[in-house]
Structure 1
Amino acid sequence: MKKSVEILGLPIISITEGRELGVSKTLLIDAKNGTVAAITIEDADWYRGVKLIPYESVIAIGDDAVTITNSENILTLDAAGDYEALLDENIRIIDTKAITKSGTIQGKVTELYIGDDGKIEKCEITAPDGTTSDIATDQISIFGKQVTVIDPTGEKKNNVMPSAPEAPKAAPAQPEAPKAEAAPKAEEAPKAAEPAKAEEAPKADAPKEEAKPEPKKEAPKAAPAPKAEPKKEAPKADAAKQAAADKASEERHRRFLLGKKAARDIKMDNGIVIVEAGQDITEEVLQKAKLANKFIELSMNVQ
């Protein structure tokens, strides 16, 4: 998962041509589906019009570059008919007001978190007092051009305080118990006859049966504890997805490079040659390049 700021400004590298094709400029948002549809780029011919890369054509987004297969993955405005409507909408999300359906402004959207598949995972919202919080996309109903609308789930969380006064309505139920204790009036009856005392015994038993619901109050206390534990596993799942994505990206690079020839000598930092120009790239060469942190350099110098 990447922040938008970690994607914008990165060079676009063609791994088959070994050259830089431009720099990532903006994210083209598909607001309806909550995804990044493409990345617009800026190159030496920027004055000729918009150019973009469909997000599905991106091989990987690293710390230093965005890699694609070749320059054919870049679309001009004439060839980007499927994206024309999104370009017209020009929804950026960042800097829009975050507001609930009830009309409460939560702050301003200051950052987006993008998954490996291009899905917007969550938004960072900065409140007027400067504090920040993250809102998951399943809590957002609309990504608009000026406003991002938080769905009813977010409203319920904000309305916890107003709903609290309803609790006292249930409180009178407890005072009703003493009404059953009207039995003391019956104590006057025993002055007339002892049989009334016998009738009092079952009345005393009745409240005991009513007291049985008390154990039910204890059962819910134990239930919430185990439910909270699975939440801790979420980071592990995110880490596993990231690891799987990194492994898949590396595997694609490896398959692409195998059988190609090096365009120039690739050397370790200490001067030892990993592969000479014109030599075939083998598994052994890939392993050496990886250990020497020369994998990207090798990828950009093949023929």
Structure 2
Amino acid sequence: MKKSVEILGLPIISITEGRELGMSKTLLIDAKNGKVAAITIEDEDWYRGVKLIPYTDVIAIGDDAVTITNSENILKLDDAGDYEALLDDNIRVIGTKAITKTGSIQGKISELFIGDDGTIEKCEVTAPDGTTSEVTNDQISIFGKQVTVIDPTGEKKNELTPAAAHAEKMAASPAAAPAAPAAPAAKPEPQKAPEAPKAEEKPAPAPAPAAKPEPPKAAPAPAAPAAKPEPPKAAPAPQKPAAPAAPKVDPKQAAADKATEERHRRFLLGKKATRTIKMDNGIVIVEAGQDITEEVLQKAKLANKFIELSMNVQ
């Protein structure tokens, strides 16, 4: 399974001709079937029209290239009649709003995870607060041009069922509630305390001199040693084992991600933005028609708009 960002910007290699035929530019989405139908290519003759590779003709997608059998697998627009409707629809999925059928916006689709056969296995959703979650293929009802609709059934699996279980527990608790009143009955016992005054046999105060045990009150001093347990506060140190969480990052994966980002960066440099890209606070990252520079790429990365930028260049 590959992320879209791991596919875009890779060179297209013919393994029988030993040629580099261009670079993967965009994913052509078959929204009806929830699949990637083809990969569009940018080459030296890009100005002559769209070229694409049917996903079924892709041999493999590696860390450094997309391999196909030969250049004959590449279709020009005149030969891509089966894909013309999809090109007209131009559904990208990434950047669309993720919304439930009940009208609750979950965030925006920020990434696609694609299986070996081109199926969109799941989508990453970035909420307004920056947190991310994943929605699987069977939880997606519609891939639209501006909106991706999530099937409520999926929500029930993730949220409603646990709530229902909690509700059932709450429903069971009322039965126990009657027992609770029995506890308050014990409260009258404190009222028996007033009966203690009956024992106000003030002769008893004589035993009060038993205050001599007060010296034992010095025992509170030993309480000071209790302060010694403060060293155990060092217990937070055991939290340091959380540091091992860092090793969870696979160095090879990190290097591959960095290499992919670098390829993507080289691909974008010098291109022109096809539309104005803005930060969430409205600050313009790049105007439509403006060249993509290092400064633009840096701003886009900091604003989490790198993918949106990459999908709107020429």
TM-score by structure 2 length?
0.53
Cα offset, 1:155, TM superposition: 3.0
> What residue is the counterpart of 2:41 in the other structure?
41
Deviation of 1:168 (Å): 4.7
Give the 5 Å matches for 1:93-242.
Answer: 93-156=93-156, 157-159=158-160, 168-169=170-171
8 Å CA contact 1:10, 1:65 repeated in 2? yes
Aligned position for 1:9:
9
Task: State the partner residue of 1:22.
Answer: 22
For 2:46, give the aligned amino acid: W
Q: How does 1:246-257 map to 2 (within 5 A)?
A: none
Shift of 1:134: 1.2
Give CA deviations for 1:183-238 in whole Å, capped at 9, x if unaligned: xxxxxxxxxxxxxxxxxxxxxxxxxxxxxxxxxxxxxxxxxxxxxxxxxxxxxxxx
- Distance in 1 separating the partners of 2:14 and 2:42: 15
Structure 2 residues not aligned, in runs of 5+: 180-314
- Identity rate of aligned residues, in percent? 79
Cα deviation code 1:243-269 (max 9, x no counterpart): xxxxxxxxxxxxxxxxxxxxxxxxxxx
Q: Specify the SS of the correspondent of 2:29.
A: strand
Q: Residue type of the partner of 1:15?
A: I
Partner of residue 77, structure 1: 77
In the TM superposition, structure 1's runs of 4+ consecutive aligned residues that sit over 3 Å from their partners are: 157-177
Deviation at 1:34, TM superposition (A): 0.7
Q: Is the counterpart of residue 56 in structure 1 residue 56 in structure 2?
A: yes
Aligned partner of residue 153 in structure 2, secondary structure: helix
Once the two structures are TM-superposed, the CA of residue 12 in structure 1 deviates from its matched residue by 0.5
SS of 1:78 mapped into structure 2: helix
> 1:142 offset after TM fit, Å?
0.7
Do the aligned partners of 2:138 and 2:154 also contact (CA within 8 Å) in 1?
A: no
- Distance, in Å, in 2 between the alignment partners of 1:172 and 1:59 is 62
1:56 partner letter: T
> How far does residue 170 in structure 1 lie from its aligned partner after superposition?
5.3
User: Normalized against structure 1, the TM-score is what?
Assistant: 0.55
- Can you list the C-alpha shifts for 1:34-74, whole angstroms capped at 9, x where unaligned? 11000000111111110000001011111111111111000
Distance 1:154 1:102 in 2: 12
Alpha-carbon distance in structure 1 between the residues aligned to 2:63 and 2:142:
31
Match of 2:66 in 1: 66
Query: Does the C-alpha gap of structure 1 residues 125 and 74 become closer, same or farther in structure 2, counting only changes over 3 Å?
Result: same
Contact kept, 8 Å, 1:101 with 1:155, in 2: the verdict is: no
Partner Cα separation in structure 1 for residue 100 and residue 119 of structure 2:
22
Pair 85,170 (structure 1): closer, same or farther in 2 beyond 3 Å:
same
**Residue 158 (structure 1) shift:** 4.0
Letter in structure 1 aligned against 2:134: D
Partner Cα separation in structure 1 for residue 19 and residue 168 of structure 2 = 66
How far residue 120 of structure 1 moved from its aligned partner, in angstroms, is: 0.7
Amino acid at match of 1:98: A
The SS at the match of 2:138 is helix
Letter of the 2:114 counterpart:
I
Structure 2 distance, partners of 1:51, 1:162, is: 50
Match of 1:282 in 2: none
Q: Is the 8 A contact 2:112 2:120 kept in 1?
A: yes
Contact 1:4/1:114 (<8 A) preserved: yes
2:98–2:147 Cα contact (<8 Å) kept = yes
User: Distance between the aligned counterparts of 2:99 and 2:2, measured in 1?
Assistant: 24
**Residue type of the alignment partner of 1:114:** I
Give, in whole Å, the separation in 1 of the partners of 2:177 and 2:150: 41
Counterpart amino acid of residue 88 in structure 1: D
Task: Name the structure 1 match of 2:87.
Answer: 87
- Structure 2 CA distance for partners of 1:139 and 1:51, relative to 1, 3 Å: same
